[in-house]
Amino acid sequence: MTFFRKLFCVTMLGTAACGQTPPAISIDGGNGHTATLTVAELAALPQQTIKAIEHGTSVTFEGVPLSEVLAKVQAPVGEELRGKALADYLLVEAADGYRAVFALAELDPAFSDKRVYLATKRDGKPLSEKEGPFRIVAPDEKRPARWVRQVTALKIREAQ
């Protein structure tokens, strides 16, 4: 949608009248369970403040642990993450085609204290269009290569 059409929709008609749906992330558990979450729906989950260093500068994100998001599709955790399920991984997809994976065991608080979040705010403000509205933030990782910007989908898959 062009900027002017967007402006017209918002000021004259309201976004709903123009058939705009709010951006959402799609979640596929690979187990028959799927979900979609808008920023507002994600905001209803308990938010955490995440202090991180990015390119040498400290930044504060707000978001939800990825494990809480994956609970929406009943991802295996704790005792369920054994045997075959240990070959399960999360594929994170972005609007620009960028992709990154995490092993499910990396994301389960029963396995690890490693922090991985789905963030929606930076320094108190919603993420910019270039960065968000959803971004992975993993403050314990020394390189931010898996801090996927503009996340569109989270898919649980099984390594072949």
Ligand X SMILES: Nc1nc2c(c(=O)[nH]1)N[C@H]1C(S)=C(S)[C@@H](COP(=O)(O)O)O[C@H]1N2
Q: Is residue 147 at the binding interface for ligand X, with CB under 6 A as the rule?
A: yes
**Nearest-approach distance from CB 55 to ligand X, in angstroms:** 6
Interacting residue with ligand X among 96, 129, 140, 158 (CB under 6 A): 96
Q: Is residue 98 at the binding interface for ligand X, with CB under 6 A as the rule?
A: yes
User: Residue 56 or residue 124: which is nearer to ligand X going by CB?
Assistant: 56
Considering only residues 8 through 27, tell me which ones interact with ligand X, judged by CB under 6 A. none
| Short-list 28, 47, 26, CA closest to 89 | 28
| Angstrom distance (rounded) from CA 12 to CA 34 | 35
Q: Is residue 17 at the binding interface for Mo ion, with CB under 5 A as the rule?
A: no
- The number of residues in the chain equals 160
Counting DSSP H helices and E strands in the chain, the numbers are 4, 10
Report whether 54 contacts 37 (CB < 8 A): no
Considering only residues 130 through 149, tell me which ones interact with Mo ion, judged by CB under 5 A. 145
